[in-house]
């Protein structure tokens, strides 16, 4: 039997990871060679690497595949990357759809690892590139900023409620006021660190100078979108990006029955959260977005649905400007050209450098 490739699927959790080694032969038959479970720490990584080496007996290519689940996969991916192992990391929804396509009705970590191994054997996948130090730092800073913002809002709401109470609760008011002031100071520090991180990185600064020209897209919006997408490294089309962010459209139709069509909202909530306020701002300050908003509102008669559509359109615009490395031009669509900047399902369209917006 002639084997073509070893594929190692890895399903990573917080404390441990399940793995499966499979091989594919010249007849495209995938065979499971072995399965295992290891701790998600340096000791587990060493044991996993030795276990894999023991089972790779044929001198043929090997490839590792795992999902981008939170941050739990990162240390193992980095370990394998430093060992010069071919590693791919895919979006969870992509792996889920593939495994469902195999007809597997049950779901657990072991089954997921086998599904990833089979997927790795059958497909040619892009190699994983680790986050740059600054983007990794941005993600940590922006997520902490989001957490503190949520806490500050909750504290402020509690303080407002206490001020309206029937009894004098001045001691509690002072404590809450002190916590709120401390949180605000920390938020300002984080914002300064985020700004410094972007300004000191030539690539990030150049991208922000071009994308930040959109009225309503500030430094925090840019920082969160960049950090949560790793500079759009894992994406090659708008459909992948919108699905990752939870802006993909879900239909509910069968035969003559037609249910509601809605956004899935199953994706990166950090991106959707940070685009909420910018959507209001671009509708107010950018004529083309206002035109788009009014069109959706006319069709749906639901304001929030129109604003969510604006969020999606804004995200895809940021993506297109980043990928094409062009500056936002609010008057682009008035130039009389029909060549759009938006990206189709096959990838980035070839467009003129001045093509900075099409709505």
Show pLDDT as tens, one digit a residue, over the chain (359 residues). Answer: 688 899 999 999 999 999 999 999 888 899 999 999 999 999 999 999 999 999 988 889 999 999 887 788 989 999 999 999 999 998 887 888 888 887 766 677 788 899 999 999 999 888 988 878 899 899 999 999 999 999 999 999 999 888 887 777 888 889 999 999 999 999 999 999 999 999 999 999 999 999 999 999 999 999 999 999 989 987 888 888 988 888 876 644 444 445 455 565 667 899 999 999 999 999 999 998 999 999 999 999 999 999 999 999 999 999 999 999 999 988 764 433 333 444 333 333 433 333 333 33
Tell me the CA distances in angstroms from 118 to 11, 114, 135, 336, one per residue in order: 13, 6, 32, 49
Q: How many CB atoms lie within 10 A of CB 15?
A: 10
The DSSP annotation for 64-84 comes to EEEE--TTTTHHHHHHHHHTT
C-alpha span between 94 and 103 (Å, rounded): 15
C-alpha span between 275 and 312 (Å, rounded): 9
Q: How many CB atoms lie within 10 A of CB 130?
A: 16
Would you give the DSSP letter of residue 333? Answer: G
Contact 120, 23 (CB under 8 A): no
């Amino acid at each position: 039997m002639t084997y073509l490739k070893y594929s190692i699927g890895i399903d990573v959790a917080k404390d441990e990871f399940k793995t499966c080694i499979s091989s594919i032969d010249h007849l495209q038959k995938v065979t499971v060679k072995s399965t295992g479970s290891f701790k998600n720490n340096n000791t587990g990584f060493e044991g996993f690497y030795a276990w894999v080496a023991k089972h790779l007996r044929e001198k043929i290519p090997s490839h590792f595949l795992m999902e981008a689940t939170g941050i739990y996969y990162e240390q193992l991916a980095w370990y394998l990357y430093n060992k010069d192992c071919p590693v791919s990391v895919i979006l969870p929804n992509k792996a889920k759809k593939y495994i469902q396509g195999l007809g597997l009705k049950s779901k657990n970590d072991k089954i997921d690892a086998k599904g990833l191994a089979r997927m790795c054997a059958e497909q040619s996948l892009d190699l994983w590139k680790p986050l740059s130090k600054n983007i990794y730092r941005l993600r940590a800073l922006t997520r902490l900023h989001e957490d503190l913002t949520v806490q500050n809002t909750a504290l402020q709401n509690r303080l407002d409620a206490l001020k309206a109470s029937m009894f004098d609760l001045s001691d509690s008011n002072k404590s809450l006021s002190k916590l709120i002031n401390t949180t605000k100071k920390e938020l300002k520090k984080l914002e300064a660190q985020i700004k410094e991180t972007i300004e000191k990185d030539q690539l990030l600064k150049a991208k922000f100078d071009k994308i930040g020209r959109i009225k309503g897209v500030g430094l925090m919006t840019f920082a969160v979108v960049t950090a949560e997408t790793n500079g759009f490294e894992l994406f090659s089309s708008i459909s992948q990006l919108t699905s990752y962010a939870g802006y993909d459209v879900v239909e509910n139709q069968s035969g003559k029955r037609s249910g509601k069509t809605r956004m899935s909202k199953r994706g990166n909530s950090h991106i959707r959260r940070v685009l909420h306020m910018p959507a209001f701002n671009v509708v107010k300050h950018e004529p083309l977005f206002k035109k788009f908003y009014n069109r959706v509102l006319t069709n749906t008669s639901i304001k929030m649905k129109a604003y969510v559509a604006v969020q999606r359109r804004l995200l895809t615009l940021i993506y297109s400007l980043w990928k094409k490395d062009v500056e936002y031009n609010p008057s682009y669509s008035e130039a009389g050209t029909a060549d759009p900047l938006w990206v189709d399902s096959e990838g980035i369209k070839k467009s003129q450098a001045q093509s900075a917006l099409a709505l």
